[in-house]
Amino acid sequence: MMVLRTKAVTSLFVISLLLTSVSLLGTPLAPSASASVPSPTSDVAKHAFAYINTIRNYFFCVSSTCKKNRASDEVASGKAMKALMAEARALSGKVWPIKERAVATKFVTDVHALSNAYLAYPKESSAQAIARNTASIYYQSANVGSDTYLMTVALKGGTVKFPQWSVGAVAVLYAMQLDTQALNSKSATAADALYASKNLENEAATLSADANGPNAQFNTLITTFARTQLTVSTNAIALLEHKKATLSNGALSALSTMLGQQFTQIVTLEKKLVKKK
């Protein structure tokens, strides 16, 4: 009997990620960069934050004002998504300075992932597919924000600060936490478990790419956690699809327990680094 239920869900982690993530909605992710900086990424750094917040304002509206303007906000979010894609295409044809090369490449990748979820969202009819695309829009928009912040800092020659950078990684971790909760639900069916496991597999891969922050220890922790989650999810999916898993039930259970320990390490360090500012 495979043990799908991980021991990674802790109230402390849920509350920490929820507060950190919700605080980003409806507010600027970071200030814009100066438009006078001569760089292939200067226009991106200048406009991308506004585009991201326009998209988030539509999908994650929490105020009475935006709820009254759903139609106009939908149109605005569509224009913002097209503008981000135009910026991604423009960057794809540029030769970047070394200091911006890696983050510009990641920006392009994250914008394409955001666009895929955005375009798929209105075409889906199942609750699970809608939830999956909504989650992707949530954490990929945050990832694009982190990418833009890093470009902004590179353009200005400043120092990367953990709270501003971490919005992307924290959003992915939050989405993973929700899928872990769904996986652990007593009412979860085999189909629910398979859906959650596949989401976690994708999210783990995304998280691995987010280990480019200013704190080496945090980068290592999320990389290790992502690797563990990927192993657990891959084996869980194999068992749920009645295929041969590479790990025994005992080994899979042990890794699931390890996920809980890794979660605790991540949230402890994250809270410490955010307080330092």
Transcribe 156-221 into DSSP letters. Answer: HT----HHHHTHHHHHHHHHHHHHHHHHH-TT--HHHHHHHHHHHHHHHHHHHHT--SS-HHHHHH
pLDDT in tens, 21-39: 434 433 334 433 333 333 5
pLDDT of residue 43: 67
Determine, yes or no, domain membership for 2. no
> What distance in Å separates the CA atoms of residue 28 and residue 31, rounded to the nearest whole number?
7
pLDDT of residue 210: 96
Determine, yes or no, domain membership for 1. no
Determine, yes or no, domain membership for 73. yes
Q: Is the dihedral of CA 43, 46, 48, 54 positive or negative?
A: negative
Q: Which of 72, 247, 232, 172 is nearest to 80 (CA)?
A: 72
Determine, yes or no, domain membership for 193. yes
Determine, yes or no, domain membership for 133. yes
Domain count for the chain, please give it: 1
Distances (CA, A) of 62 to 56, 182, 185, 193, 198: 10, 23, 27, 29, 29
Q: Which domain holds residue 222?
A: 11-276
Determine, yes or no, domain membership for 6. no
Q: In the chain, which residues have pLDDT < 70? A: 1-43, 277
pLDDT of residue 42: 63
Q: Which long-range contacts (CB under 8 A, 24 or more apart) does 95-102 make?
A: 95/40, 96/39, 96/40, 96/41, 97/39, 97/40, 97/154, 99/154, 100/39, 100/40, 100/41, 100/151, 100/154, 100/155, 102/212
With a pLDDT cut of 90, the percent of the chain lying above it is 58
Determine, yes or no, domain membership for 237. yes
Determine, yes or no, domain membership for 4. no
Look up residue 145 and give its two tokens. 């924000």
pLDDT of residue 205: 95
pLDDT of residue 277: 63
103 close to 143: Cβ distance less than 8 angstroms: no
